[in-house]
Structure formats: structure tokens, C-alpha cells
Amino acid sequence: MNTTLVFGGSGQLGQCLLTVAARTGFEGIVFPPEGEANILNTEALEILFEKHRPAYSINCAAYTAVDKAEDELELARKVNRDGAENLAKLCAKYNCTLIHISTDFVFEGNLPKLLTEEDATAPISVYGLTKLEGEEAVAANAPKYYTLRTSWLYSEYANNFVKTMLKLAVDRSELNIIADQVGTPTYAIDLAGAILHIISNDKQQYGVYHYSNEGVTSWFDFAVNIFDIAGVKIKVNPITTAQYPTKATRPKFSAMDKSKIKLTFNLPIPYWRDSLIACIKALK
Ligand SMILES: NC(=O)C1=CN([C@@H]2O[C@H](COP(=O)(O)OP(=O)(O)OC[C@H]3O[C@@H](n4cnc5c(N)ncnc54)[C@H](OP(=O)(O)O)[C@@H]3O)[C@@H](O)[C@H]2O)C=CC1
Ligand SMILES: Cc1cn([C@H]2C[C@H](O)[C@@H](COP(=O)(O)OP(=O)(O)O[C@H]3O[C@@H](C)C(=O)[C@@H](O)[C@H]3O)O2)c(=O)[nH]c1=O
């Protein structure tokens, strides 16, 4: 039986992988204790690879604090670039396939079309830049890799936009939400399912793939739908990016084309609102 090693297992996507693997009876998946799986500790990583000899490694570990990263370039770069490079080199050495997770924030977000894997990257934030550097390190060092770019992840686990909205609504009667940033939310449970699907149906067609839920929306429309589905009565005001200043600049339009992953792996992808309904049901 093949072994799959998960890094960053305590984060949002890591917890979703644990949930989906248990639900589907996916065998051979190992979530090493955090102390043994620091992606910056090459000695500890070598011990793990030597012990498990994994056929697959999934890198869910990342520095994901988008605004904070603007003041912590070195730390973000260490985790998002150097950590990815460490895993890629070990995967090369141990003949392991690396599944690495990246982001829509590698794009500038000024093209009025669904972004394909061939479109030019041009990050406009430190987080996006360091994630792009991680992608490049993976491509340069791991002969067998799938880099999955995803966007706007949410789930019942860890911190995310859906949980923030529901929390804010407890003691606020109205919220101002940006309506001129457009993209696609992704239920991390769906992404976890897609990752396990790729491993079970490996086509060895390595490279970069886009994965999000289907459809396109704005943060404002996403928030309106969260409250609608959750049955929460609150006034939601659409605002512009300029009316909500943040340290990091975010792409204006970062919805991605998923044709490549759907065709290569024969993978059905749920529409974002259907998955949001599933998440809110799970939260309740
Ligand atoms: N969240 C989102 O909206 C999106 C995320 N992504 C990407 O998806 C992936 C998963 O994100 P998500 O699960 O939401 O992120 P989380 O922030 O929830 O989880 C990241 C995990 O990485 C761990 N980690 C940080 N540094 C290290 C390290 N040196 N060694 C090992 N683990 C480490 C964190 O542990 P600790 O908390 O202890 O530091 C945490 O458990 C990331 O690559 C992210 O860039 C892409 C698009 C959207
Ligand atoms: C809380 C809040 C946020 N917003 C806006 C700010 C921002 O533009 C948008 C989302 O805010 P958040 O800080 O939750 O999300 P953010 O951290 O920007 O989300 C990003 O995270 C990284 C890790 C990714 O890779 C991206 O794909 C994306 O998911 O909503 C409002 O307009 N009003 C509000 O009250």
C-alpha cells in the first residue's frame, strides 16, 4: 500500500484531508505530529521520509496571514518558498510525488477573463510573491509534482471568511463588504476530495493545475449568500476596495479556469453555492 505524508496537517486544509480520508476510507495517509514535520527542519524531514518512504507528500503547510505578511517578508518566504523547496528536494531524492498547494494571489488580477495555468503571474502582495516563489522551487526541484492553485478557501475548520462573517454577525447589525474583488470560493472539503482523487487516479501528467469551486462571485455577494443560507438577518452594504484599506493589495479578478484539472482527472467540481450550503450545514 502507498503511503501519503501530509505536512501542515493542523491547518484548515490539513483537517479537511483528515476528515475526507476518514469518510472515504482512504488508506495509508499519515499526519505526522507537528514537532516531527516542520518543513523548515530538513533533518527532521529526512527522518520522516526515511521512515515512511512515501509515494505521495501533500504540502498544506504555509504562511497564510495575507496582511501580516507585508511586514514579515522573510518569515513568509521561509515557509512558503524555502519550506516548499525542502519538500521538493526530498521528494526528488525519495521518488515521491509532491502535491503542493498554491493560490490565486499569484495573479495580478487585472484580466477580465477566467485565468488559465498558462496566464502570466504577477503577484501584488508579499504573500502572493512568496507563494509564487514556492511554486517555482517545486517545479525546479521535484520531478514529480502537482501544484494546485486554489482560491478563497473556507470550511468548518480553522479561520476563514465564512466563520468570520458568522462571528461578526453575532454583535453587529450591519457589515460593509468589498464588492469589487471578484473570484471563486472553494470549500476546503471539496479540495481535499480532489487531492485524494488525484492520488487515486494519478495520470502522471505533472505540472500546475487550477482548482476552485465552480462559478464566480464577489466577497460582498459571498457574504450575502452566507447569511441567507445560515438564516441570519443582517444588513450587508457593498463597498469598494478603496473604502476598506488593508496592508496587502488583493487581486480585483482572480477567478480561475478549471478545464485542465477536470479533463485530466475526470473530476467533477461542485458549484460554489451548493458547497457553501454543505459547509453551513456542517457548521450547524
Ligand atoms: N486559506 C485560504 O483562503 C487559501 C489558502 N491557500 C493555500 O492553501 C494551503 C492551505 O491553506 P490553509 O489550510 O487555509 O492554511 P492554514 O493557515 O489554515 O494552515 C497552514 C498550516 O501550515 C502550518 N505551518 C506553518 N509553518 C509551518 C512549518 N514551518 N512547518 C510545518 N507546518 C507549518 C500552520 O501551523 P501553525 O498554525 O502552527 O503555524 C498551519 O497548520 C496553503 O498553501 C495556502 O497558501 C490558497 C488559497 C486560499
Ligand atoms: C472581515 C471583512 C473583510 N472584507 C474583505 C477584505 C478582503 O478583501 C476580503 C477577504 O478577507 P479575508 O481577510 O477573510 O481573506 P484573505 O485573507 O484576503 O483571503 C485570501 O487568503 C489567502 C490565504 C488566499 O490564498 C486567497 O485565495 C484568499 O482566500 O473581504 C470586507 O470587505 N469586510 C469585512 O468586514
Neighbours of 69 (CB within 10 A): 24
Residue 246 lies inside a defined structural domain of this protein: no
The string of pLDDT tens digits covering residues 33-80 is 999 999 999 999 999 999 999 999 999 999 999 999 999 999 999 999
Residue 237 lies inside a defined structural domain of this protein: no
Mean pLDDT of 136-164: 98
Q: Which residues are identified as catalytic?
A: 127
- The mean pLDDT value of the chain amounts to 98
Does residue 178 line the site of ligand 2, with CB under 6 A?
A: yes
Residue 42 lies inside a defined structural domain of this protein: yes
Residue 245 lies inside a defined structural domain of this protein: no
Mutate to test the pocket of ligand 2, among 249, 250, 254 (most ligand atoms within 8 A of CB): 250
- Could you tell me the pLDDT band of residue 230, with boundaries at 50, 70 and 90? very high
Residue 110 corresponds to which amino acid? Answer: N
Residue 251 corresponds to which amino acid? Answer: P
Ligand 1 centre to CA of 101 (Å) is 9
pLDDT computed for residue 1 by the predictor: 86
For the chain, the domain total comes to 1
Q: Which ligand is nearest to the CA of 244?
A: 2
CATH of the domain at 82: 3.40.50.720
Residue 168 lies inside a defined structural domain of this protein: no
pLDDT computed for residue 151 by the predictor: 98
Residue 276 lies inside a defined structural domain of this protein: no
Q: Which domain holds residue 19?
A: 4-159+187-215+255-270
The string of pLDDT tens digits covering residues 255-271 is 999 999 999 999 999 99
Pick the atom of ligand 1 nearest to 105's CA.
47
The string of pLDDT tens digits covering residues 198-223 is 999 999 999 999 999 999 999 999 99
The interface predicted TM-score (ipTM) is: 0.99
- The helix (run of H) or strand (run of E) holding residue 108 is none
Closest residue by Cα to atom 33, ligand 1, is: 61
Residue 254 corresponds to which amino acid? Answer: S
Q: Which three cell numbers stand for residue 31?
A: 499526519
Pick the atom of ligand 1 nearest to 152's CA.
3
Residue 250 lies inside a defined structural domain of this protein: no
Does residue 206 line the site of ligand 2, with CB under 6 A?
A: no
Residue 240 lies inside a defined structural domain of this protein: no
Contacts of 2 (CB under 8 A, 6+ apart): 28, 54, 55, 56, 199
